[in-house]
Structure 1
């Protein structure tokens, strides 16, 4: 990965990587190493909280990919979160190693999302958003019919009990960290590819993208399946940390509300914004999560205020004010003697 720049006319250059973005990439690598060795010094509570942070980052990044980059706003992504947990329970009960079940469940969920996309992607705008919510509600009812789940009573991932709590906690932490890094890396690579350019072209103007030869449905399907898989990974990992599975918890629209909050606050359509939003949500939850209903009211009020006064989120405002691009997925046009113009 190298900076272009490529001159296209006198006084005009196009670049992608900047000095700040190269430093940021090095910082990300260092942070991942530090996170990897953190369990050697951290206590059980801190390890559990960081595991939750990694899961939040996955959720925010996947919803941002779908809505922020692909223009597919959904209020039903909890269906994939719940299915990731449900299939983990099912596979572990069938005798598969519980840790392997986490990722096998995500693969099954991703596979299910493929035929689901055949008719869901025919819907647009509000129809797609509400349609996904309906699919989530129907799936919730079907899961309740499974005798293993015992309705809303739920069940537990009892096969994890063969591991002592300390080993289990650290392994889940490392799996969450590796999953976050892998999914962010995959998404970053995708958005910087030709497919990524097609994704953003569809978001900006689907008809224009079609006229340029972009395969709209196939491109949307790629993003839809990736988001489903990533959110299923998050659901399976959350189950591993909680061990108990109750359908009403995992299929709750609250999970999508959290995703939307993180992305709106951090910056929709900004790769860095989803990560920043997840960190902010994590901090707010850590300090105010025990306030119950007032905590949820506060989250809603914060989201409304950001929508009104900072529609591009915190990272969007930082990028606008300081021209700071740490993980660029697009190019930037530079004109001699004029401010840089981003092309994301």
Structure 2
């Protein structure tokens, strides 16, 4: 005969066997593969040519920009077409710190991100009063204002731009060490150093986005994206979440902008605030890969890089082809290439959905432990 205390104990044991999980077997395997891939990529400057390192640098910086925009648009629902504002501000902050203040470029990179985040504060004050397409247009207008303002900065070349002093990049922290230990020329060492920084920023951004989406704030953000009114009714501070995401993406975008123009060595307002280079291409990467997924931008940037190398020599036809491909993808695979793959295979490399697992079949189905 079973007492009430024994029944209650069994119920507690049954409940303790249930747990919420997000990881899957595939994601665990992918984590190991990713770690190996990151280590291999870190060794790339010692194994491949300088041209390949520059190509990898391009992929990593565009991937970071795409992940940032995807967090902003795909999860927070803020469709911005003015992210070039933060690329340009970050790049100009780097050049100002190096040329005008004499800072080491490596020390100026995080300052460039902070400057972009500071610029985002008054920007958010204005654009958060706009919704939908008006928000998108507002971000683009403010980016154009930023371009026109910085084009008047005569100390940094005005409208024609300026270049970093050659000594500034050749004497960065770590350059002499790479030259002495591995026999790298200063230019190759500078490229390698910029590449390692881009790799670190890309990995940190993906890890940060993944960790955020798995947190309670990530759940709140998903609720805001799906139905802001309902999310507010449940106690989610939508305005605070959106503002935090906006400032975070501005910081990351500013850091990437500083890295890109550190590697380029020359800046101009038209290039640093280019809508095509720093927003249109990024939107294409996210849309093609799959908006609202971490895997999407990774796949999208690889597709974009291959298309660019194969067809960029065709001029304006290349841009038309990219636009046509984006339209076709939105019509026939609105969740992007990764969404199509995931739908057919069930794969999730960065799972954020919570699953209830456990619960012994012996208790749930047979009323006792199954020996």
Aligned to 2:75: 69
Aligned to 1:250: 272
Aligned to 1:147: 154
Q: Tell me how far apart the structure 2 counterparts of residues 60 and 257 of structure 1 sit (CA, whole Å).
A: 10
8 Å contact 1:265–1:314 — kept in the other structure?
yes
Aligned to 1:132: 139
Aligned to 2:214: 192
More divergent stretch after superposition (165-174 vs 114-123): 114-123
- Pick one of 272, 289, 300 that aligns with 1:277: 300
Q: Tell me how far apart the structure 2 counterparts of residues 189 and 38 of structure 1 sit (CA, whole Å).
A: 27
Aligned to 1:341: none
CA shift, 1:191, in A, is 1.2
Residues 253-299 of structure 1, C-alpha deviations (whole Å, 9 max, x = no match): 11210111000000000111111111211221222223222211111
More divergent stretch after superposition (195-204 vs 144-153): 144-153
Q: Tell me how far apart the structure 1 counterparts of residues 312 and 270 of structure 2 sit (CA, whole Å).
A: 19
Aligned to 1:30: 36
Q: Tell me how far apart the structure 1 counterparts of residues 245 and 236 of structure 2 sit (CA, whole Å).
A: 14
Structure 1 residue 174 corresponds to structure 2 residue 188: no
Q: Which is greater in Rg?
A: 2
Q: Tell me how far apart the structure 2 counterparts of residues 217 and 58 of structure 1 sit (CA, whole Å).
A: 24
CA shift, 1:226, in A, is 1.1
8 Å contact 1:271–1:327 — kept in the other structure?
yes
Aligned to 2:181: none
Structure 1 residue 160 corresponds to structure 2 residue 183: no
Aligned to 1:110: 117
8 Å contact 2:90–2:116 — kept in the other structure?
yes
More divergent stretch after superposition (186-195 vs 131-140): 186-195
CA shift, 1:95, in A, is 0.8
Q: Tell me how far apart the structure 2 counterparts of residues 329 and 120 of structure 1 sit (CA, whole Å).
A: 29
More divergent stretch after superposition (147-156 vs 302-311): 147-156
Structure 1 portions without partners, runs of 5+: 1-6, 335-344
8 Å contact 1:74–1:129 — kept in the other structure?
yes
Aligned to 1:339: none
Structure 2 portions without partners, runs of 5+: 1-13, 176-185, 358-371
Q: Kindly report which structure 2 residues correspond to 1:13-92, keeping only aligned pairs within 5 A, or say none.
A: 15-92=21-98
Q: Tell me how far apart the structure 1 counterparts of residues 356 and 76 of structure 2 sit (CA, whole Å).
A: 22
Aligned to 2:6: none
8 Å contact 1:88–1:105 — kept in the other structure?
yes
CA shift, 1:115, in A, is 3.4
Q: Which runs of 4+ in 1 moved over 6 A?
A: none
TM-score, normalised on structure 1? 0.91
8 Å contact 2:61–2:198 — kept in the other structure?
yes
CA shift, 1:103, in A, is 2.1
Structure 1 residue 227 corresponds to structure 2 residue 249: yes
In the alignment of these two chains, the number of paired residues is 328
CA shift, 1:193, in A, is 0.7
